[in-house]
Structure 1
Amino acid sequence: MKIRRNEYEILNQMLDDAIAGTFEENCFDESELSKLQTKFMRYLSTASMSEKKIQEEKDNLKELITNISHQTKTPLTNILMYSELLTEVAATEQEKEYAGEVFAQGKKLESLIEALVKMSRLETGIFQYQKKETAYREIIHKAVEQALPKASEKNISILVRDVGRYRSYVDEKWVIEAVYNILDNGIKYSGEGTTVYIEEFSYEFFSGIRITDQGIGISEEEIPLLFGRFYRGRSAHDKEGIGVGLFLAREIVENNGGYIKVTSQVGTGSRFDVCFPNISTL
């Protein structure tokens, strides 16, 4: 059946209305085109309802996440404050140990809730990235600044090699967090007196930030599992952490159009390449 020009215009207008969210059902006759229009109308109506329901669910989830974050903040702050006070007034070493354990578990719970909120926002698309042209130099310096206190505690050096040549189109704030998470991971699994190196690199279509540590390394079969939610390696159970840092790093990098490449050798260390498209290839 050939569709005449006016019939094509009717169908085209239906699509335009559906895209604009102004589509409404009209009265049709019993022609073949009318039957097609009716089916099309039912499909568009169903799709519109589904989209509306998805958006409502996202809004409800956003509200739930915000409420969880707000409702847990005050109780956790009080737990941490009172556990510190108990440590100061404890009469015996055992009491101090118990109060210290309450504080440590409270901090762990605080980190877990913060990570869960971030994961939910990233996975559901609630958060919108604010991308702009960004120099890797800025990301590196700010991530290193955050990581230095923990590195100093373990007498670990962070050596920033030649930077300042490359840039990409990313959300600076969130990519800083991704790079910091990888740096933090390298510090966590490296021994005292070692060095973590961070530098830029560039290929024809991609450039990025490379983090190399002198830690315990990762076996080849574990590398594909590294970025799983709450995954902790076989050698990581005696280390601090909840297993979400690398998961968040991957989510952030991929949502900024990039990827992470890992190479490692057990007992020697690991290298993480955080890659983004070159601005010239966007």
Structure 2
Amino acid sequence: MTRHIEMLDALFKHATEGIVVVDKSGTIVMLNPKATELFGYPNTELTGKKIETLIPQRFNHNHVQYRDKYLEEPRARGMGHLMDLYARRHDGSEFPVEVSLSPFKTSEGEFVVSFVIDITERKMQENRIIEANLEIQKLNAELEERVSLRTKELATAIKKVEQSQEEVIRALKKERELNNMKSQFVTIASHEFRTPLATILSSASLIGRYPKTEDEDKRQKHVLRIKSAVTNLTEILNDFLSIGKLEEGRVHSVPVLMDLPEFCKNLIEEIKGLCKESQQIQFGYDGAAEVWLDKQLLRNVIFNLLSNAIKYSPEGKFIFFRVNTGAALVHIEIEDQGIGIPTADQAHVFERFFRAHNAGTAQGTGLGLNIVQNYIDLMGGKVTFSSEVTKGTTFHITLPNHQPAPAGND
């Protein structure tokens, strides 16, 4: 028995953990050397003091309640694994601890032995790990932010490259269109110019063969042929000039207050010279005389449509030119009794250089209706048509009738 007591005494004295024994009232009755070392007290100074002496003052009040409740039903338990526990040294400093409680009984009464471990080094390591983790999280966040920023920059760069590619593709497409237009111009010009130039040369040569007064009719016949050929050449050149101006964005709609009936009558008088034998232009007008429209663009549109009606209608046919004006809109209708447009071609009539399959030998560049549509678009209007082969074609134009708003100050 004595041997066992000696062994227990040796374990108590040489244990690497602090051992504190308290009675049921929470009074310290025994400490081992390691405990006095941990708390910095002389060997016997703590004996007889309450366990709260070793607890930081801010926790004392609550600890008394916890201690009394525990001593009512004591049981073995560990403390400090899931919460931070701190002990107080003799000098008032604090240090983190881990505590295990074990109740026991003797003939002298009930006691609780506390095993106290100083975990300062562990806490320092944990804090270093936490700080390292925080630093890693910070670095990860910075990295993610950098990646996000680089991703956005890359996306922006890719978008710019795509835009540049699109611009290059548009430029190449525009260049191809321009080259095609130049090629088509050369083809059309060489073909369309040849006939009127040959007519002019031939008629000019023949006029010299009729010097006598009685040959006046023959001379006038050739003069008219020369005039007609020059008109055709002028129309071709005007078409190409118009396309060039439209491509460069140099054509704008500038509505002015105008007398539309007078304007139309003058235009009919001007175009009468192109009419074939017994062709007549029937003009009808309804509504207010004064409207707001762009004179030059309107002249080009009507002149083009009327000249087409004349060109593609046989001799002796009527061409109807009708105008109806309202407060907000102007409606124009030009109807012929000509060859009409084949159904298969109708979807392409406003395309540049397009000519219907039944146009035959009639002169033309295939630009007129494309220019008409562009001019009407510039005026904010709309153009449609209906046509039937051998029955004729009717073009319907709707244009806004309003005074332009005054330009604001920048």
Structure-1-length-normalised TM-score: 0.59
- The answer to whether residue 305 in structure 2 is matched with residue 182 in structure 1 is yes
* Residue 226, structure 1, aligned to residue 349, structure 2: yes
Aligned match of 1:73? none
Aligned match of 1:238: 361
Q: 1:203 to 1:81 in 2, by over 3 A?
A: closer
Report the CA distance between 1:201 and its aligned residue. 3.1
Matched-pair contact (CA < 8 Å) for 1:167–1:278: no
Residues 40-67 of structure 1, C-alpha deviations (whole Å, 9 max, x = no match) = xxx9xxxxxxxxxxxxxxxxxxxxxxxx
From 190, 202, 214, the equivalent of 2:337 is 214
- Aligned residues of 1:147 and 1:180 also touching (Cα < 8 A): yes
Q: Which has the higher contact order (CA 8 A, sep 6+)?
A: 1
When the two structures are aligned, how many residues end up with a matched partner?
A: 207
CA RMSD of aligned residues (A): 4.1
The 5 A counterparts of 1:99-138 are 110-138=234-262
> Shift of the alpha carbon at 1:253?
1.3
Uncovered stretches (5+) of structure 2, i.e. residues with no partner: 1-159, 161-193, 211-221, 406-410
Following the alignment from structure 2 to structure 1, what is the Cα–Cα distance between the partners of residues 312 and 198?
Answer: 29
Q: Which structure has the greater CA radius of gyration?
A: 2
Give matches, 1:131-146, under 5 Å: 131-146=255-270
- 8 A contact 1:166–1:207 mirrored in 2: no
* Structure 1 counterpart SS, 2:330: strand
Query: Where do 1:37-116 residues align within 5 Å?
Result: 84-89=203-208, 110-116=234-240
Counterpart contact for 1:80–1:106, Cα < 8 Å: no
Quote how far apart the aligned CAs of 1:274 are.
1.5
Structure 1, unmatched stretches of 5+, are: 1-42, 44-75, 92-98
Q: Residue 259 of structure 1: CA displacement? A: 1.5
Q: 1:187 to 1:82 in 2, by over 3 A?
A: closer
Structure with the largest fraction of strand: 2
**Local SS of the residue matching 2:344:** coil
Are 1:155 and 2:274 an aligned pair?
no
TM-superposition CA deviations, 1:81-129 (whole Å, max 9, x none): 76654333479xxxxxxx99xx798875554333211211123212343
Q: Is the 8 A contact 2:293 2:401 kept in 1?
A: no
Change (3 A) 1:234 1:198: same
Instruction: After superposition, give the CA deviation of every residue in 1:221-243 in whole Å (9 maximum; x if it has no partner).
Output: 32221122221111102212222
1:83 and 1:186 map into 2 onto residues whose CA distance is 28
Whether the aligned pair in 2 keeps the contact of 1:198 and 1:210 (CA below 8 Å) is: yes
SS at match of 1:125: coil
CA spacing shift, 1:130–1:191, aligned 2, 3 Å: same
Q: CA deviation at 1:204?
A: 8.8
Identity of aligned residues (%): 22
